[in-house]
Amino acid sequence: MDKIEIKGLTLEYRDANSSYVALENIDLSVKEGEFVCIIGPSGCGKSSLLSVIEGLNKPSSGKIYIDGSEISGPGTDRGVVFQHYSLFPWLTTVGNIVFAMKQNKCKGSGKELAATAREYLAKVGLEDTFDKYPAQLSGGMQQRVAIAKVLAANAQIFLMDEPFGAIDPKNRQELQELIGLLAREEKKTVLFVTHDIEEAILLGDRIIYIDDKKIQADITVDIEKPRTKASLVGNNTYTKLHNTLMGLFYKMVATQIGGEEVVI
């Protein structure tokens, strides 16, 4: 059984004067433990797709199933990490994580939940931040807390909407390696929206390309994990896949300069 199954999903936004179709007739299956990256031009519906899986938006038509059961709204089985860090500024790092665990009805005393929070902060390399507030942390550190929060709350599905888009290159690379490692260790199912083709290849087991409101390509990344940026340099499979994906964004440009065999 697939972890996530989407059948005939259409999402239309409406107000009193107009309507707009964001997604049209989407079919997608995701296996348990699979890391699926979603790419496409701005406004193509990537974030809208995550919002429906999260349960915040209701499909205009079609259905979404998790573990064979149709979803009807948000659930504790899904954890979300946004580009902008969703932390309460008046709570410490431990307090933010404990709050999420309580919301997900995680069992244990206050001391036990705090101990679990510290365990997951250690997993993301923040052992020294237990009593710090978000304003005392860098952007990369805040995003690590957000990742620790969904891990500790025991969400089985990660919905990640450009989580590293506002992070500097050094911290971005560290966070990419971290989420790839934790997803494998914790056996999480991940849907990861990104504009970065290299990031999609680095992290994804599959890459879904969305354009014109529909899935236009579903590509398996046939490169052994774990991957690093250094290991991708000079890799022929990476080069061809990178150019194939670039060709989806820039079909006319790719054709004019030679197609898949040209490094863009």
pLDDT digits (tens, 9 = 90+) for 201-217: 999 999 999 998 999 99
Q: How far apart are CA 106 and CA 74, in angstroms?
A: 16
SS3 48: helix
pLDDT tens, residue by residue, 152-195: 888 899 999 988 877 788 888 888 888 888 888 889 999 999 98
Report H helices in the chain.
Answer: 46-54, 93-103, 110-123, 139-152, 169-185, 197-203, 229-232, 236-249, 251-257
Confidence of residue 259 (pLDDT cuts 50, 70, 90): low
pLDDT tops 90 at residue 260: no
Q: How far apart are CA 37 and CA 194, in angstroms?
A: 7
Q: Which residue has the tokens 């790419």?
A: 39
108-116 long-range contacts, CB within 8 A, separation 24+: 116/152
> Rounded to two decimals, what is the model's pTM?
0.87
Contact predicate 147/100, CB 8 Å? no
Q: How far apart are CA 124 and CA 151, in angstroms?
A: 10
pLDDT tens, residue by residue, 44-82: 888 899 999 999 889 899 999 999 999 988 888 898 888
Contact predicate 117/131, CB 8 Å? no
Q: How far apart are CA 249 and CA 247, in angstroms?
A: 5
Contact predicate 94/131, CB 8 Å? yes
